[in-house]
Amino acid sequence: MREKMKRIGILTSGGDCAGLNPAIYAVAKAIYRKIDDVEIIGILDGYTGLIDLNTKVLKPKDFEGLLTKGGTFLRSIRQSFKTIDVKDENGISKADKIVKNYNKLDLDALVVLGGNGTHKIANLLSERGLNIVGLPKTIDNDIFGTEETFGYDTAVQVGADYIDRIQTTAASHSRVFVVEIMGNKVGWLALSVGVSAGADAIILPEIPYSAEKLNDALKKTLKEKNYAIVVVSEGAFAKEERKMKNKERLSERKLAGFNSIADKVGDDIAKGLGIEIRTAIPGHVLRGGEPSARDRNYTMQLGAVAAGLIADEVYGVTVAKVNGRISFNQLSEIAGKAKPVPEDDSLLLAARSIGISFAD
């Protein structure tokens, strides 16, 4: 008697980034080689596709050409963890609908590509009995338990290229530029972009800044050259804002006329040094474009391991880079945990040693 065909669902959730399409490509290619009788179901628009049953059967030809493409051809929508298990007027939650539709689709496993929020939902679904394998995606590099996330390397390169171009304008016009880099809770991206672009100061969420210390550092910089670059992480805050909740900080800044942390830092510098400041925010540009060669190679490794886990029926896990090797973690052990930049991080220490200020 012929064994039942395996049906594997795959979705991408949360913010997009370079590397999602290559990761999908890698998982699919490896699954087709490791499992003889298999069908891959593309779930569109992230978890929303499982809630609304918006799916399509994918063929091997659908994955061709994905290796070099940015974004995700399966599309993505953010799904809040806070609302995923809230019951509606009929007593049914989005999580309930996902479980029901997973079974309706007769899936044997679900591959989930996403960041922290995505992994929290994946763990919840795993606890409800779904066979889940996750892959660590985010430009923030903030997923606990893995040394690196895919999409991060490309975003660092895009950010560095962006600031390289800012530098020529800054030098030509003797300007101080404040460049805001994505990173709502952690500063890995701002740190790597800032160091690789030769920033004079880097402001991170992990290190609340002093406007006085920042201006002292910039005074020294401006004595040595005619311009300066300050890189600030999106989630950074001043020492006097340390005890505030994030919503309170944003409210206070808005009342002061600041639309971003870059505006506030720029104002601190302008008032302290009595000079004109320029701010620049690459924003979603950091997520876009073709994935770097490193990210392509990295997703190949992650995808191959993910397919192997599915073939071996190892579920409730997410693929990870641990001690330099591709392995996996239990979702229950990493979901919802933060991965901030530690004060003894080697890149941070190197930055301090060459004179980059963290305004602390």
**Beta strand 228-233 pairing with 325-330:** unpaired
Q: What is the share, in percent, of the chain residues with pLDDT greater than 90?
A: 99
pLDDT digit string, tens, across residues 52-85: 999 999 999 999 999 999 999 999 999 999 999 9
Domain residue limits at 43: 6-150+291-334
State the maximum Cα–Cα separation within the chain, in Å, rounded to a whole number: 82
pLDDT value, residue 139: 97
The number of folded domains in the chain is 2
Q: Say if 344 falls within a structural domain.
A: no
pLDDT category of residue 1 using cuts at 50, 70 and 90:
very low
Average pLDDT over residues 197-208: 98
d(CA 182, CA 121): 23
d(CA 305, CA 307): 5
pTM: 0.96
d(CA 262, CA 284): 16
Q: Say if residue 169 is in the same domain as residue 262.
A: yes
Q: Say if 253 falls within a structural domain.
A: yes
Q: Say if residue 146 is in the same domain as residue 32.
A: yes
pLDDT value, residue 3: 67
**Beta strand 317-322 pairing with 325-330:** antiparallel
pLDDT category of residue 268 using cuts at 50, 70 and 90:
very high
Average pLDDT over residues 330-355: 97
Q: Say if residue 107 is in the same domain as residue 129.
A: yes
- Whichever domain contains 225, its CATH number is 3.40.50.460
Q: Say if residue 243 is in the same domain as residue 128.
A: no
Active site residue 140: yes
Q: Say if 34 falls within a structural domain.
A: yes
Average pLDDT over residues 174-187: 96
Q: Say if 355 falls within a structural domain.
A: no
Identify the active-site residue in 16, 45, 108, 140.
140
Above 50 in pLDDT, residue 308?
yes
Q: Say if residue 170 is in the same domain as residue 135.
A: no
- Whichever domain contains 41, its CATH number is 3.40.50.450
Q: What is the share, in percent, of the chain residues with pLDDT greater than 70?
A: 99
Q: Say if residue 136 is in the same domain as residue 259.
A: no
Q: Say if residue 132 is in the same domain as residue 207.
A: no
